[in-house]
């Protein structure tokens, strides 16, 4: 009996089944990951690099990006960019491609969170959340898509949320933004898939990140509520989202487009 594949010890790009090429291999791919300096963005960068992709981590804080790149190794680089600067998206994409070559994968992961009662959320706060998530993702997608169309291939991946799938209190702006991703993914998939560009999303459940730990550290009741409604009875790990990203960006998902993939331990279907 074959030993179970250990993704922490074996690179996805090394897998081989009696001479068949590994369908999860990402050699010759260049992935740009926004919000790549920490958390899920960094985890996705690690997993895509393990599958052979070159990755460019994007964020506003150069020191954090430099540290993140060091944890990945020679397949990683970084680029400082603020997704809120919508008009700078074309120049940013041109800068990355001039240095690294054609962008074949874009992961729209950058975002901000706002926890506040709906009646206390101001128009300015609401608009800021929408700008970062929705308009920022659209601006970068719009900038990379023409090249993908010209080459006849590419993958856009949006990081949605449980807030895209069901109601969560005190996050009205965040829920609106992440729900907008669902519509964007379906519309873009319908429009772009005939050009060889696949568009998908991941909806992470509750994952062990620095942000979630801070949120739950002093709120045992909330932690218990989360665990009680998660059939697997635990939080996920960032790599769970990272490996889902590898799948959706790889040839293994060559006939998959327009989906929202929950990576949530069953939270979205449990009771």
**Are 109 and 93 contacting, i.e. CB atoms less than 8 angstroms apart?**
no
Phi-psi region of 95 (alpha: psi -120 to 50; beta: other; left: phi over 0): alpha
Q: Classify 89 as helix, strand or coil.
A: helix
Q: Which of 41-72 are b and which e, b meaning 16 or more Cβ less than 10 Å from the residue's Cβ? A: bbbbbbbbbbbbbbbbbbbeeeebbeebbeeb
Degrees (nearest 5) of the Cα angle 71, 105, 91? 90
DSSP 234: S
Strands 54-59 and 154-159: unpaired
CB atoms within 10 A of CB 214: 9
Catalytic sites, residue numbers = 174
How far is CA 18 from each of CA 13, 103, 220, rounded to the nearest angstrom? 14, 31, 49
Strands 76-80 and 105-108: unpaired
**Are 57 and 42 contacting, i.e. CB atoms less than 8 angstroms apart?**
yes
How far is CA 8 from each of CA 43, 51, 76, 239, rounded to the nearest angstrom? 12, 12, 18, 10
CA nearest to 61, candidates 44, 77, 38: 38
The residues, ordered by sequence, that sit 6+ positions from 114 with a Cβ below 8 Å of its Cβ are 121, 125, 128, 129, 171, 173, 174
């Amino acid at each position: 009996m074959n030993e179970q594949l250990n993704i922490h010890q074996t690179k996805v790009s090394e897998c081989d089944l009696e001479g068949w090429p590994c369908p999860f291999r990402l050699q010759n791919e260049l992935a740009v990951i926004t919000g790549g300096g920490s958390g899920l963005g960094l985890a996705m960068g690690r997993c895509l690099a393990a599958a052979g992709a070159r990755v460019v981590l994007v964020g506003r804080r150069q020191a954090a990006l430099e540290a993140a790149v060091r944890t990945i190794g020679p397949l990683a680089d970084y680029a400082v960019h603020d997704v809120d600067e919508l008009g700078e998206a074309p120049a940013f994409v041109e800068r990355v491609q001039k240095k690294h070559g054609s962008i074949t994968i874009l992961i729209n992961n950058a975002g901000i969170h706002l926890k506040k009662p709906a009646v206390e959320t101001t128009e300015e706060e609401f608009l800021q959340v929408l700008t970062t998530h929705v308009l920022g993702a659209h601006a970068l997608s719009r900038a990379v898509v023409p090249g993908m169309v010209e080459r006849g291939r590419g993958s856009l991946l949006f990081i949605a949320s449980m807030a895209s799938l069901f109601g969560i209190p005190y996050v009205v702006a965040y829920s609106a933004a992440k729900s907008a991703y669902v519509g964007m993914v379906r519309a873009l998939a319908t429009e772009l898939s005939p050009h060889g560009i696949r568009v998908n999303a991941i909806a992470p459940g509750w994952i062990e990140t620095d942000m979630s730990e801070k949120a739950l550290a002093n709120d045992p009741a909330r932690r218990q509520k989360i665990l009680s409604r998660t059939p697997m009875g635990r939080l996920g790990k960032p790599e769970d989202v990272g490996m889902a990203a590898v799948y959706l960006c790889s040839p293994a998902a060559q006939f998959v487009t327009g989906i929202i993939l929950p990576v949530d331990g069953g939270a979205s279907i449990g009771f």
